[in-house]
A = this chain, B = another copy of it.
Amino acid sequence: MNPLAIPEIVIKRLPLYLRTLRLLGDEGQAVTSSQDIGDRLGISATQVRKDLSYFGEFGKQGTGYDIQYLQQQLREILKIDRRWKLVLIGAGDLGRAVLRYTGFEEGGFSIVAVLDKDERKIGKQMGRLKVADIARLPEVLREHGVQIAIIAVPASNAKEVADALVKAGVKAILSYAPVSLSLPSHVHVQHIDPVLGLQSMTYYLDPGQG
C-alpha cells in the first residue's frame, strides 16, 4: 500500500499502540486484544482493529495479538527497528534538559550534535557533546547523515531556525517552541505543546476547589 494513502492520524496512533504493548509486556502479558489496547487508550476496539488492518493481519480471531510479534511489526512499520540520529538546536536550559532526557535513546534516537548561535555557548561542553556553531549546520548534518532535528530555542528564534533546518535538508522537526511553524509540506513537524494536555484535564476539575 502507498504509505501516504494511510491517514496521518492513524500513523500517529501507532506509537501509542507500541507504548501500550510495551507496558502490557512489562506487566507479564504475552497476548492481548484490540479491546485491551483500546481500553488503555480510551479508543474503541473497532478503531484499533481498523488502524492495524491498514498494515496487515496481526491477530487471530479469538486468540488476540502476540505482544512481542506485534511490537516488532509496529517497529518495522514505523521504521524504528533501527537507530536514528538527531541534531539538537538550542543549548539553553531546555536543550540541556532534552539532552539529559533518557527517553530518546530508549526510543531509538541518538542526539549526535548540539548547535547554538550564542558565542558564549559555542565550544562549551554540554553532557557528552560540545556545542557547535549553528553556522556549521549543513556540514554537521552531512557528516552524521542526519534528517531529524529538535528545536529547543526561544519562540522568537524558532522560525529562523526552522527555515535554516529546512534549507539544510532536514526532513523532520520536533519543536518545543510555543509557536506554530509553517514549513514546506515535505517537511514533517511535531510540536510538543504541554498546554494541550493541561487544557484537556481542566475539563474534569471543579474550579470552585481551586
Q: Which residues of A contact B (CB under 8 A)?
A: 3, 7-9, 11-12, 14-16, 18-19, 23, 41-43, 77-80, 82, 84-86, 92-94, 96-98, 100-104, 106-109, 145-148, 150, 155, 171-172, 174, 176, 178, 180, 188, 190-205, 207, 209-210
Contact = CB atoms under 8 A, between A and B. Distances in A.
A14 B210 contact: no
Given A16-B196, A93-B96, 8 more contacts: A3-B204, A9-B41, A23-B180, A80-B202, A101-B194, A103-B193, A171-B204, A192-B197
Given A80-B199, A197-B190, A203-B3, A93 B97 contact: yes
A19 B179 CA distance: 11
A112 to B, nearest CB: 11
